[in-house]
Structure 1
Amino acid sequence: MTRRFILKLSCPDRAGIVHAVTGVLLQQGGNILTSHQHGDADHARFFMRIEFEATAEEAALQAAFEPLANEFRMDWELVSRERKTRVLLLVSKLGHCLNDLLFRVQTGHLPIEIPAIVSNHRDFYQLAASHNIPFHHFPLLGGTEAQKAAQEAKIREVIADNQIDLVVLARYMQILSPELCRELAGRAINIHHSFLPSFKGAKPYHQAYERGVKLIGATAHYVTSDLDEGPIIEQEVARIDHSMPPEQLVGIGRDMECVALARAIQWHAEHRVLLNGNRTVVFR
């Protein structure tokens, strides 16, 4: 039986990487379907994503590739193409991104699984129920450090119990602790309602209005302990003019937020995103 796999990797750049990688796949009876690569000359680093088919089992392919990965000092991942990424959605009181993601999954346009939704408010428990997804309400009543730590402990339990691959902050208006950010490094995506690095922090559309900009945007990025500073995966922009009040910018921005976040999740789930320091390489 032929199965499809995805191999993505990055390593110090040197001659012979492509030849060595494809040679191992050939030895395992692999047939390459698509291949993308990128060499970062500034940092002398090489990036590659290959989708291939083979009759070998995943464990056998992993074992065959490991010696080469060690030789070339690779950061690498080999996964089955059929396996869907398990995503935990975090949301607060703005539900446009949540609703958009649930619809895309329901209609088969976003190939992920959503085993659970977590919120610090109860607003969207009925929406979650309509999609047969468990809804966890973890409030933050006082906002003390102890309460924050206790709430994040519950989030960790949901992540572990549901074997979560990716955490998505779908307009979750709470700042994750540095400890949780480190635990989720490279597997937590946030949508920020501005065209980063401009207008960080609160009310970015109002900040954009005050500066009289002609373009506004939304940015999907990986979460780090530095607020709104994580590696950018995708951005969406819209042209505006002087006649538009801040409230209209907010409305325009919500559509952009949905689009940028959905693309970023899809590319992550399809293993198209590779970290390159504080930047990303995205093979579309």
Structure 2
Amino acid sequence: MTEHAYILTLSCPDRLGLVHTVSGFLLEQSANIEEAAQYNDQATGLFFMRVQFACAAHDLASLKAAFAALAEPLQMRWSIHPRAERMKTVIMVSRQGHCLNDLLFRFKSGLLPVDIRAIISNHRDFYQLAASYNIPFHHIPVTAATKAQAEARQLEVIEQEGAELVVLARYMQVLSNNLCEKLQGRAINIHHSFLPSFKGAKPYYQAHDRGVKLIGATAHYVTADLDEGPIIEQDVARADHTDTVDDLTARGQDTESQVLARAVQWHSERRVILNGHKTVVFR
């Protein structure tokens, strides 16, 4: 019989026998576990698990219904998705295109399990780049006076495309609290600094002014608190006293692209589970 691969993720209050319970359920479904990882956060008393498994041709709705009956008394937050399903994604960008270009190349090369459905920008700079990948480009200008209307249009595009993931690939507008709430847990931002240092605008200028020896980049989930969202991935590059702001910016842009790509990959492979203001990442 044809086998189909699925990804199960869950979190719940920790208790004895959870791994046995989940693996026993999969055994009952004649499923073969291909990859499994779990984590017990002793500080919060929560248990997290990700399982990739294969089973014979199966009705997904029936599989979910059966697991729901098991999960409810255990207070599980869970999801089951086909592994082959590419995550519908919308990218938002302003006038710096290094992260956008990197994501598009990885997407086109089959290196990211995403389906980029649209690009939204408050400038026209990258409409030709979007056209070269045959991706719809939506130019939505934003001013202080039109911010509410612009965000309503952005959300309309996101919902029309059924996006499970929104990537802020150097989108330089601060999202309103309302939009942050609507995108909770499915919007990833790249900040060009090793947070929590140098939040806000012009972090490379701040870093240069402080004479840092390391610069970094942080990919995190978007929240209403600017640059405070749960961190998914970070990385750093060396710096020294001879570096100018331009040197730091150029080196940092490479780091930003790599960090954001890893965060997008892990999220789209359903390897990231929220844990309060932190994340659990099963790499």
- Normalising by structure 1, we get a TM-score of 0.98
SS in 2 for 1:163: coil
Which residue is 2:65 aligned to? 63
Determine whether 1:187 maps to 2:186: yes
1:218-248 superposed Cα distances (whole Å, 9 cap, x missing partner): 0000000000000000011001101101111
Q: Distance in 1 between matches of 2:163 and 2:79?
A: 17
In structure 2, how many angstroms separate the alpha carbons of the residues matched to 1:68 and 1:208?
Answer: 51
Q: How does 1:238-249 map to 2 (within 5 A)?
A: 238-249=237-248
Q: Which amino acid aligns with 2:72?
A: N
Query: 1:107-149, CA deviations, whole angstroms, 9 ceiling, x for partnerless residues?
Result: 1111211110000000000000000000000012x422xx111
**Cα distance in 2 between the residues matched to 1:83 and 1:198:** 37
1:62-106, CA deviations, whole angstroms, 9 ceiling, x for partnerless residues? 011001111110111110001000110000000110011101111
Amino acid at match of 2:154: I
CA shift digits 1:139-163 (9 cap, x unpaired): 12x422xx11100111111112111
Q: Which residue of 1 aligns with 2:157?
A: 158
After TM superposition, where is structure 1 displaced by more than 6 Å over at least 4 residues in a row? none
Cα offset for 1:25?
1.0
Aligned to 1:218: 217
Q: Percent identity?
A: 59
How far apart are the structure 2 equivalents of 1:36 and 1:58?
Answer: 22
CA offset digits 1:24-79 (Å, max 9, x no partner):
11111111011100000011110000000012221111011001111110111110
Cα distance in 2, alignment partners of residues 244 and 205 from structure 1:
11
Distance 1:50 1:208 in 2: 41
Normalised TM-score (structure 2): 0.98
Query: 96, 101, 105: which is aligned to 2:103?
Result: 101
CA offset at residue 16 of structure 1?
Answer: 1.1
Partner of 1:9: 10
What's the Cα RMSD here? Answer: 0.7
Which 5+ residue runs of structure 1 have no aligned equivalent? none
State the alpha-carbon separation in 1 of the partners of residues 38 and 113 from structure 2.
Answer: 24
Match of 2:81 among 76, 79, 93: 79
- Letter aligned with residue 107 of structure 2: V
